[in-house]
Amino acid sequence: MCRECGCSVTQDDVHVHDHNGTVSARSGNSASVEVLRRILHDNDHEAAHNREHLAGRGILAVNLMSSPGSGKTSLLEATIDAIGARHRIAVIEGDLETENDANRIRARGVPAVQITTGQTCHLDAHMVHDALHALDLSEIDILFIENVGNLVCPAGFDLGQHANVTLLAVTEGDDKPAKYPVMFRAADLVLLSKSDLLDVLDDFAPDQAERHIRALANPADVLRISARRRESLAPWLAWLEARLAEVRSDAARHARRHHHDHHHAAE
């Protein structure tokens, strides 16, 4: 598949695939131009740049998405408490207004950049790129991007993350994945948050939530967590450690190949 636009042109054919378009027909003073380019090309291009930049430094970038009030910031606080001494964490916060979330993260001694989007309902790759300039990347192992609380728009914009993590609070209803299929299809991991409340709720069935996620052809793990129950975070923390190890080994392999290429070039 063509990575520029998602069309079915294979990699081998990309050289014949001009993204300024080729004229296919002319009549009178008009010309039809075949383009076949992703509409969000600018965003996707910037996102790929962010991802490569972060991966090159062995930084794992995680995009956290959910509806407002599902516990993204509480999860980050608990995650910082659990592994902040072992891994250097930084956070990019997206909200329409206020620095409140960034201040909560900073109170834990972790650098945070607040993006206030005004009326915009999602973060995009350009906003994240600007925020990266406000962080010292040589001091980061894991970068969390806490997206604007919204189960619709953030799913449409690649930021340059290595994984999408979507929270579904057990107070929200187990049919949320069926109601917001685009968001839950994009998830690489789903966290059922506030799961300590399952004991007192009789209308949320974790198995049902998982069935709805499978119906989106999504094999993502579904974990029950609670920011208030430290022991419940273990599988989430293990998942993070595993993703970080992957990004680091990719970075090391890339650096070795780069070194190898230079070595040969010098011969």
Partner 1 sequence: MHELAVCQSLLREVERVASAHGAAGVSRIEVAVGSLSGIEAALLDRAFSIARMGTSAEQADLEIQEMPIIVWCKACKTETRPASANALLCAQCGAWQVDVRSGDELVLRQVELVQPAEAATS
CA distances from 207 to 170, 198, 211, 212 (A): 12, 12, 6, 9
- Residue with smaller CB distance to partner 1, 179 or 258: 179
Residue 36 CB, shortest distance to partner 1, in Å, is: 6
Name the one residue in this structure whose structure tokens are 């299929």: 181
- Residue with smaller CB distance to partner 1, 25 or 200: 25
| Whether the Cβ atoms of residue 54 and residue 161 lie closer than 8 Å to each other | no
The candidate with the shortest Cα–Cα distance to 45, out of 159, 182, 185, 164, is 159
CA distances from 19 to 43, 215, 238 (A): 15, 35, 42
Residue 132 CB, shortest distance to partner 1, in Å, is: 20
Instruction: Choose the binding region for partner 1 from 57-65, 133-141, 192-200, 210-218 (rule: CB under 8 A).
Output: 210-218
Instruction: Choose the binding region for partner 1 from 65-73, 132-140, 158-166, 208-216 (rule: CB under 8 A).
Output: 208-216
- Per-residue contact track with partner 1, 125 to 164, x per CB under 8 A? -------------------------x-xx-xxx-------
**φ, ψ dihedrals at 121, nearest 5°:** -90, 5
Q: In what order do the strands lie in the sheet with 142-146?
A: 112-116, 89-95, 142-146, 60-65, 163-169, 189-193, 221-224
Residue 154 CB, shortest distance to partner 1, in Å, is: 9
- Per-residue contact track with partner 1, 36 to 75, x per CB under 8 A? xxxxxxxx--------------------------------
- Chain centre distance of CA 185: 13
Q: How many residues in total does the chain contain?
A: 267
The residues with which 23 forms a beta bridge, in sequence order, are 33
The candidate with the shortest Cα–Cα distance to 210, out of 170, 237, 161, is 170
- Residue with smaller CB distance to partner 1, 26 or 262: 26
For partner 1, how many residues bind (rule: CB under 8 A)? 45
Q: Which of 82, 96, 121, 135 binds partner 1 (CB under 8 A)?
A: 121
- What lies within 8 Å, CB to CB, of 234 at 6+ separation is none
Instruction: Choose the binding region for partner 1 from 33-41, 84-92, 237-245, 255-263 (rule: CB under 8 A).
Output: 33-41
5 near partner 1 (CB under 8 A): yes
Whole-angstrom distance, CA of residue 73 vs CA of residue 229: 15
7 near partner 1 (CB under 8 A): yes
Site for partner 1 in 170-199 (CB under 8 A): 177-179, 181-182, 185
Q: Which of 11, 12, 16, 28 binds partner 1 (CB under 8 A)?
A: 28
Return residues touching partner 1 (CB under 8 A).
5-7, 20-21, 23-24, 28-43, 120-122, 124, 150, 152-153, 155-157, 177-179, 181-182, 185, 212, 214-217, 219
